[in-house]
Amino acid sequence: MKNRNLLLLIVMAAFVLLGGCAEVVQVGTAVGQSSGVLSARDKELLDKQAMSTAQAARPMTEKEEYYLGRAVAATILGQYRLYTDNRRNEYINSIGRTIALSSDKPYIYGGYHFAILDTDEVNAMACPGGLILISRGMLQRAGSEEELAAIVAHEIGHIVNRDGVKAISAARWTQAVTALGADAAGRFGGRQLAELTTLFEGSVNDVFKTIVVNGYSQEQEKAADESAMIYMQRAGYDPSGLYDFLGRLAREQRGSDRRGFFSTHPGMTERLEMARSFLAAKGWKRMDHVARDQRFNAYRW
Amino acid sequence: MKKIVWLVLLGSMMMAAVAAAATFRVVTEEATIRKDRKFFAPVVTRVPYGEVLQEQARKGDWLMVNYKGRQGWIHISTVQEQKFDWSSLSGGRAAEATRDEVALAGKGFTPEVEKSFRNKNPKMRYDLVTQVESYRLSEGQVENFIRAGNLREPGGEP
């Protein structure tokens, strides 16, 4: 009895020390059972406990995030038309790819892709997994390539910070992971697939509601602004481009009825102030960008 | 006495985990092994999702790996470090469990779930998503864009 308690203690201690690795427990219980210290039932209970804890703790994989993002984008694209000017699409994608390479996550499962929504609205949405949709109305407000880079870099910041995924209710994700069950080999059973599809649908709605209807938290927006300035500076862009663009939006917000973008992005003045302090703290001075200004004029609307 | 045996076993498990910490799995749809530690360095070979690679050296954000006899550098953001394969210690049931864990990582929200979701929601514009994903720029185009704009080539020497 004493040995049995000692083994339970050691197996659970190993589980905690090694980061909740279910296999560690299974090896421990297998040895425990073969040496007669644990009964088959003890082993089964311990293994089951370890597996369910490991699964519940599992973060969403990048591949899963990619499929979730595709569904979110498919939902958004049901409400907008795509802007089909190849030259401008190429320009935005070039800026995006350049910034992405200087981000904290240069490569993601399906790569970064940028598209322009053909609408006068001011909006930009980062779908999990790397699909970034920016409205023509937003891009038309930019006064330089630095400002375009700021818009794109801010959205890449949301992707790197995984803000979209964080919008999914914790309860829903735990349910999705546990719905997988222990028998993971082969294809899903019919009931399991139906349950996962419902949970997937709910997760898509959670993300959609956050990025389109309610907006991210002020903290998430500020963090994305900060990431944007860091990525811009690394890429060789003038990070003040973000400050300049926020300044435009703040001026417009003051005179607007605060619908649409300005309802999901309140506190533009606070973000502007944060950007100013951040740039000052870093000691980043304004820089010349003649080559980029010339190129921007060729793409200007 | 038995207490000591168990503690030794636990200790050796932990040491084995530390010693075997240099295995990585590709987590992007496709990863690129390059000749040098630069984003635009010549491509040695490409590695599909899920493949396992052993680290041979590490400098900054780049790992030197060998894939099917082709050696080069791979960016750290395309791979994820793997834990030690505990099944090798016990075999049998535990080996099965480890395979299950690998399968689990690819379970959850998969192409199969996406297909089922699409059947349930036929109005979703997946056709437009595919269109957006088809906007592809070659590495040469991005490199030229960076140079022409007097921007900085990223990811070089740390």
Are residues A79 and A122 located together in one domain of the fold? yes
Are residues A145 and A83 located together in one domain of the fold? yes
Contact partners, residue A128, CB within 8 Å, separation at least 6: A65, A66, A68, A69, A72, A159, A162, A164, A165, A207
Are residues A141 and A289 located together in one domain of the fold? yes
Interchain CB contact of B155 with A (< 8 Å): yes
Instruction: Report if residue A78 sits inside a domain.
Output: yes
pLDDT score of A36? 63
Cβ B114–A71 below 8 Å, yes or no?
A: yes
Q: Are A165 and A150 in contact (CB under 8 A)?
A: no
Are residues A19 and A140 located together in one domain of the fold? no
Interchain CB contact of B140 with A (< 8 Å): no
Separation CA B15–CA B19 (nearest Å): 6
Residues 124-163 of A with CB under 8 A from B: 131, 133, 145
Cβ A23–B86 below 8 Å, yes or no?
A: yes
Instruction: Report if residue A196 sits inside a domain.
Output: no
Residues 262-281 of A with CB under 8 A from B: none
* Percentage of residues in chain B having pLDDT higher than 90: 62
Q: Which chain A residue's Cα is nearest to B113? A: A197
Are residues A121 and A228 located together in one domain of the fold? yes
What is the domain range of residue A17? 2-57
Are residues A98 and A127 located together in one domain of the fold? yes
Cβ B29–A110 below 8 Å, yes or no?
A: yes
Instruction: Report if residue A295 sits inside a domain.
Output: yes
Instruction: Report if residue A197 sits inside a domain.
Output: no
Cβ B75–A107 below 8 Å, yes or no?
A: yes
* Percentage of residues in chain A having pLDDT higher than 90: 60
Instruction: Report if residue A175 sits inside a domain.
Output: no
Are residues A132 and A231 located together in one domain of the fold? yes
- Secondary structure (3-state) at A150: helix
- Nearest CA to B89 out of A33, A26, A286 is that of A26
Burial A128-151 (b: 16+ CB within 10 A, else e): bbbbbbbbbbbbebbebbbbbbbb
Are residues A48 and A78 located together in one domain of the fold? no
Are residues A222 and A287 located together in one domain of the fold? yes
Residue A64 has pLDDT above 80, yes or no: yes
Give the CA dihedral B73, B76, B80, B85, nearest 10 degrees.
50
Interchain CB contact of A74 with B (< 8 Å): yes
> In this structure, what token pair is assigned to residue B58?
């590490």
Are residues A96 and A39 located together in one domain of the fold? no
| Mean residue pLDDT across chain B | 81
> In this structure, what token pair is assigned to residue B121?
């929601």
Are residues A86 and A51 located together in one domain of the fold? no
The last residue of one of the domains, among A57, A77, A99, is A57
Question: Average of pLDDT values for A45-54?
Answer: 52
The last residue of one of the domains, among A57, A77, A98, is A57
Which pLDDT tens digit goes with each residue over A77-112? 999 999 999 999 999 999 999 999 999 999 999 999
Residues 85-114 of B with CB under 8 A from A: 86-87, 89-90, 92-94, 97-101, 103-114
Are residues A39 and A85 located together in one domain of the fold? no
Out of A145-159, A286-300, B143-157, pick the least confident. Answer: B143-157
| Mean residue pLDDT across chain A | 84
Q: What are phi and psi of B53, to 5 degrees?
A: -130, 145
- Nearest CA to A49 out of A19, A26, A30, A27 is that of A26
- Nearest CA to B132 out of A254, A127, A158, A252 is that of A127
Greater confidence (B86 vs A204) lies with A204
The last residue of one of the domains, among A57, A75, A96, is A57
Q: Which residues pair with B72 in a beta bridge?
A: B65
Handedness of CA A60, A65, A67, A73 (dihedral sign): positive
Instruction: Report if residue A198 sits inside a domain.
Output: no
Instruction: Report if residue A195 sits inside a domain.
Output: no
d(CA B140, nearest CA chain A) in Å: 11
Instruction: Report if residue A24 sits inside a domain.
Output: yes
Count of other CB atoms within 10 angstroms of residue B46: 12
d(CA B68, nearest CA chain A) in Å: 22
Which pLDDT tens digit goes with each residue over A244-278? 999 999 888 877 666 667 777 778 889 999 999 99
The number of folded domains in chain A is: 2
Picking from A1, A2, A11, A23 by the largest number of B CB atoms within 10 A of its own CB, the best residue to mutate is A23
- Nearest CA to A116 out of A150, A147, A80, A145 is that of A80
